[in-house]
């Protein structure tokens, strides 16, 4: 891929591990971080992450008017709080918080805002692959799509799995603690089901995509599996991803997928 010489001027929502990764790697994608958006009262914490050359604000009215794109690195809360208003101004937004779109009201609000601003909400691929094949397969009839997410005990702490399992004594076996639609998974497990949402959005939707969530005492990483059947044939895909060093809950590949958003926006020859 080749990119133009002028740096892409971007904004970031959030100041966690994924945002830190984007700051460090944006220059490699021909981008410059101009501003960071945080919650009111968190400006000092965000400034410590972004440094003195990045404008930090909780006031969307103070955003630079010429941003090429804003990357939502703050998850569901960041997209809910800031996505519609930014889109409404005509600035595109990219997010890894795909699980938030299980909320029909939020999806409709984002849709209206993007249409009003004549721009787009870009969905980053996040921690999973094979979405290009799944999207192509959805052009024909898809008869079944199943997502299976397997994580170690630490990956399910703070989730409803704690109410169903003793995560401290899982042993050597796998323990399924959820089976249902991708929509139900995304709503019940908002911090754990972004991948299920990505699979649903690429394929046959939130309500028709089956989701299985598993805790595994032997797992050393997060494994994501897709199985699909349809007119195209059959698909099986699995990936075991590593976390970012700064946060065991944040996928390294999800952070990398945000950088590909910048590369794709700059590239003159692209997938």
Contact between 76 and 53 (Cβ < 8 Å):
no
Say how many CA atoms lie within 13 Å of 170 toward its Cβ: 25
Long-range contacts of 130-133 (CB under 8 A, 24+ apart): 130/226, 130/235, 130/237, 131/198, 131/199, 131/202, 132/271, 133/235, 133/237
d(CA 178, CA 148): 10
- Determine whether the annotation assigns residue 127 to a binding site: yes
Question: How far is CA 227 from its chain centroid?
Answer: 20
* 76 classed as catalytic: no
Query: Shortest CA distance to 192 belongs to which of 170, 217, 165, 159?
Result: 159
Is 186 labelled as part of a ligand binding site? no
Please say whether the beta carbons of 65 and 9 come within 8 A: no
Between CA 65 and CA 54 the distance in angstroms is 15
Known binding residues for NAD(+) are 127, 194
Q: Mind telling me the catalytic residues?
A: 224
Known binding residues are 127, 194
């Amino acid at each position: 891929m080749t990119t133009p010489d002028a740096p892409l001027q971007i904004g970031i929502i959030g100041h966690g591990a994924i945002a830190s990764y984007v700051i460090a790697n944006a220059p490699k994608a021909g981008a410059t971080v101009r501003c960071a958006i945080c919650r009111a009262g968190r400006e000092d914490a965000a400034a410590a992450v972004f440094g003195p050359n990045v404008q930090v604000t909780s006031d969307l009215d103070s955003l630079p008017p010429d941003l090429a794109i804003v990357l939502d690195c703050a998850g569901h809360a960041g997209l809910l709080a800031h996505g519609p208003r930014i889109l409404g101004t005509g600035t595109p937004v990219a997010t890894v918080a795909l699980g938030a779109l299980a909320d029909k009201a939020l999806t409709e609000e984002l849709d209206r805002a993007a249409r009003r601003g004549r721009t787009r909400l870009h969905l980053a691929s996040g921690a999973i692959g094979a979405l290009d094949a799944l999207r192509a397969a959805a052009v024909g009839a898809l008869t079944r799509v199943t997502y299976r997410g397997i994580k170690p005990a630490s990956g399910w702490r703070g989730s409803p799995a704690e109410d169903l399992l003793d995560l401290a004594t899982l042993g050597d076996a796998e323990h399924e603690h959820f089976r249902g639609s991708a929509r139900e998974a995304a709503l019940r497990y908002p911090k754990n089901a972004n991948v299920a949402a990505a699979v649903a959005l690429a394929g046959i939707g939130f309500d028709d995509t089956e989701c299985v969530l598993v805790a595994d005492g032997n797992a050393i990483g997060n494994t994501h599996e897709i199985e699909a059947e349809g007119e195209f044939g059959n698909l099986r895909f699995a990936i075991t991803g590593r976390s970012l060093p700064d946060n065991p809950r944040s996928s390294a590949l999800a952070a990398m997928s945000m950088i590909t958003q910048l590369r794709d926006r700059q590239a003159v020859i692209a997938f």
